[in-house]
Amino acid sequence: MIDSVTLRGLQDDDFHVRAAAVVALGQFDPFHKGERLVEHLVGMLADDYPQVRAAAIRALEELRPDGAWHEHLVHECYVPAGEFIMGEGEDAHPVHLDAFYVGKYLVTNVEYKRYMDDIGHAVQVPEGRADHPVAGVSWYDARDYAEWAGMRLLSEAEWEKAASWDGGEGCEGTKRTYPWGDVFDGTKCNTMRAGMGDTTRVGLYSPQGDSPCGCADMMGNVWEWTSSLYKGYPYRVDNGREDASATGARVLRGGSFFSHTGVVSCVYRLRYDPYGRRSWYWGFRVGVSVS
């Protein structure tokens, strides 16, 4: 029998309590890991707080490794393990990645405010921009939010795969130039050609501009910080580029509302100082590792 106190915790107003309740449910012994337990955990995938969703994803990975529950993901998208082709032309090379989950949307102003409120640095959400991507954040701001959220920034390899790879491993898959296909379409992303001159709400160009795995806004709106140091190709996870304590320029991907078409593609890499000026063109999304 599932503990009634734990179930009540799933409905608590405090997200810390909800997250703890999810973790507790995931630790029930195998005799209690039935469909009712999975049903409760699936319901937490729609929670507003990333800590709760991350805990639910990790618990469900253990309880239902077949992934049948992926159809219930609301805020995250699943990217399966396997090889894909990173880069283009002479830079193209195979990279194998473990499975991971990626935020369907960029982190918004209202989501970032929840983080700032929780750590005691209250901020105001710009009027009319609650569901716009948070902008003007440094790499360290993005990293700290991801740690608070119980998630992490994507590596640039993960970002590129989530943005461009359409099924299959290696030569069996298809690499898209843009999330939606190989022909640029200014009606499917917020770049300079769209003429907005500013950020737009996340998901405005969804689903028509979504990537193969279902992510929105991977082109335009704001550049996205990745976890990766800027280093030459081939991409290798073991050459120090994913050292979070290292200094040096980090990679941004995807372009912004101020970007022209020449820098808007799934393979274009931008480098910037993680301590640098907090540009209003910088934002981020977060993800979850598969245990």
Predicted confidence (pLDDT) per residue in 233-282, tens digit: 999 999 999 999 999 999 999 999 999 988 999 999 999 999 866 778 99
Per-residue pLDDT band for 4 (boundaries 50, 70, 90) equals: confident
Q: Which residues pair with 190 in a beta bridge?
A: 220
- pLDDT at residue 34, rounded to an integer: 61
Average pLDDT over residues 72-78: 98
- pLDDT at residue 277, rounded to an integer: 67
CA dihedral over 275, 280, 281, 285, signed as positive or negative = positive
Look up residue 136 and give its amino acid: G
- List, in sequence order, the alpha helices (H) in the chain: 4-9, 15-26, 35-43, 50-63, 109-118, 139-148, 156-164
Average pLDDT over residues 90-119: 97
Query: Which of 29-33, 146-150, 188-192, 218-222 is the least confident region?
Result: 29-33
- pLDDT at residue 32, rounded to an integer: 54
Radius of gyration of the chain (CA): 19
Predicted confidence (pLDDT) per residue in 140-180, tens digit: 999 999 999 999 999 999 999 999 999 865 557 899 999 99
Residue 105 has pLDDT above 90, yes or no: yes
Global confidence as pTM: 0.94
Residue 1 has pLDDT above 70, yes or no: no
What are the chain's domains? 4-74 (1.25.10.10), 92-289 (3.90.1580.10)
Instruction: Round to whole Å and give the CA distance between 232 and 242.
Output: 13
- pLDDT at residue 290, rounded to an integer: 87
- pLDDT at residue 278, rounded to an integer: 74
- pLDDT at residue 282, rounded to an integer: 94
- pLDDT at residue 27, rounded to an integer: 81
Average pLDDT over residues 38-67: 95
Give the count of beta carbons closer than 10 Å to the beta carbon of residue 195. Answer: 9
- pLDDT at residue 276, rounded to an integer: 67
| % of residues, the chain, pLDDT over 70 | 95
User: Average model confidence (pLDDT) for the chain?
Assistant: 92
CA dihedral (176, 217, 232, 241) in degrees, to 10, reads -130
Q: Are 154 and 285 in contact (CB under 8 A)?
A: yes
**Residues sharing a CB contact under 8 Å with residue 32, sequence separation 6 or more, in sequence order:** 1, 2
